[in-house]
Amino acid sequence: MSTFGVTEMGVGKGKELGVQWFLLTLVSFLLIVHLSQKKKQKDGGDGMARKRIPGPGQYVLGGYANIFALRNTKTSVNVLQQWGAKYGPIFEVQFGPFPVTFLNSPQHLQKLLGSNDTNYLSKGFAYEPLRPFWQDGLIVSSGEKWRSRRKLLTKHMFKYNSVLSFMKIFNRESDLLLSTLEIFYQDGKVKPLEHKIMTFSLNVITEAAVGLSADEVDRMARKEFQVSLIELVEKAKELMCKRILNPLLLFEPIWRLHPLSKLADVVTSAGRMVLSETFRKVENGKPEEKRGMQHVLHQAGVDFDGIFEEEITMISAGYETTASSIHFLLFFLALHPRHQELCREEIDAVFEDGDFCNAQTHLYYHALGQLKHLEMCVLEALRLFPSAFLLMRKIDAELQLEEDLILPANTNVAIFIPGIHKNPNIYPNPEEFIPERFSLKESKDTHNYAYIPFSAGLRKCIGYKFAMMEIMTATAKIIRHFYISTTSKMEDVILLPHITLTLEKPMQFLLTKRKL
């Protein structure tokens, strides 16, 4: 039985409701105080008139109306997209007591993400619930710590030669996935494959980060805590979501009074203990067995606290986003057999060429560059369903977007990526799966900041090349060995904003073995 049961999650629901209503008056007062400062923000503090920023719920209790509009997680992604379509390149949303300015145009994004000004690198309040579990890892850290860690990890983990070495992991784990899928679908029945893809991706990122397989790490976790690593990560994600979607719980004193904060402490402690044991095992092993991010950080003089926060950040942020991207890609290829077959033709050619594939099983890195149509399909799937769908910064200095539009310091600035990716003025017929959008001919005039599934600029996802290689390798092998079909329909897909875009229910697939 898992350590984290349903009963624990249900504790204190009545208390939570009581706390919310008890504090409603206080938060309303804070909201009124905030709205009374609107003139200052509008004037930019210097008496000069500034362009008014539109947005929903711009009245005294509008912040709570916006919360109600977003509280249904089945529709909140669509609500944000509708707001973007209605209000245009920039709009402001009062989320309870928190004002958030959304940038919704490539030109404005370039001013923020493309700047080298370190005043624009801090993360917004939505990232605070991640800190108890991620501590001060790369995604949420800032300043000199972020800069030095980013430089260290780039040099030792994500430079060209290091990324090449990961092809061994991608190939080995993809082959294990193929064996699993062959057994899973041998009865010819339609089934969800989400869990299989998640397990594959967790195996990949765990070995890259920790230097041990996910099975080895799980054995340690189950022995000590009767819970798996993936359950720890999933429980942490669930707790983070509950805080982010409830603005009252974003106040640390209120959160510490809530029973779920105690459960969050238990999850963090368990994760720390598991990774501490893996660290001990790797560092006490033979020299040739010392591998993974934790060994790199240890050799660079980073203490265990630093190693833990970077490992848990890499694992929890890296496995699900990549797994979801593969899952969505397979879904689109199943819905569009023509594109699936075009991918298969180039994949077969690569697998049957000794210059690109060893014994028709191990793909070389340079083989991925030959899979042009598959790459376009990956990019288009990420356009439609970007796993990391929301970015947020808190700017520490004024940001001038236009001549008469200046965002004041301390503004929380958000980017809803589907709002950019589905702008019909940038991508005609934005809801359609059209991989050719990313051909050299079609994409040459697209703005550099009109496509940001991995963010952009100084804080662009450090592992984006890693993720693309993993997606390409795994998908190429699946298409090589199986015909993919689905009984799920696009109109039935419901996406939930759970840190990453998460399916309400798994898609149903049938994988039919090819005769090679």
Binding-site residue positions for heme: 461
Which residues make up each annotated binding site?
461
Quote the strand ranges of 199-356, DSSP E: none
CA atoms within 13 A on the CB side of 448: 6
CA–CA dist 454, 310 (Å, integer):
18
CA–CA dist 214, 192 (Å, integer):
22
Nearest to 453 by CA among 500, 410, 407, 488: 500
Sign of the dihedral through C-alpha 19, 25, 26, 27: positive
Q: Decide if 370 contacts 347 (C-beta within 8 A).
A: no
- Residue 415: strand pairing partners: 391
Quote the strand ranges of 321-410, DSSP E: 357-358, 362-363, 390-394, 399-402, 405-407
CA–CA dist 486, 331 (Å, integer):
7
CA–CA dist 230, 350 (Å, integer):
34
Q: In what side-by-side order are the strands of the sheet with 90-95?
A: 90-95, 98-103, 412-416, 390-394
What is the chain's alpha carbon radius of gyration, rounded to the nearest angstrom?
A: 23
Sign of the dihedral through C-alpha 98, 135, 271, 499: positive
What are the start-end ranges of the H helices in 193-228?
194-210, 214-225
CA–CA dist 219, 228 (Å, integer):
8
CA–CA dist 389, 499 (Å, integer):
8
Q: Decide if 491 contacts 497 (C-beta within 8 A).
A: no
Q: How far apart are the first and last CA of the chain?
A: 43
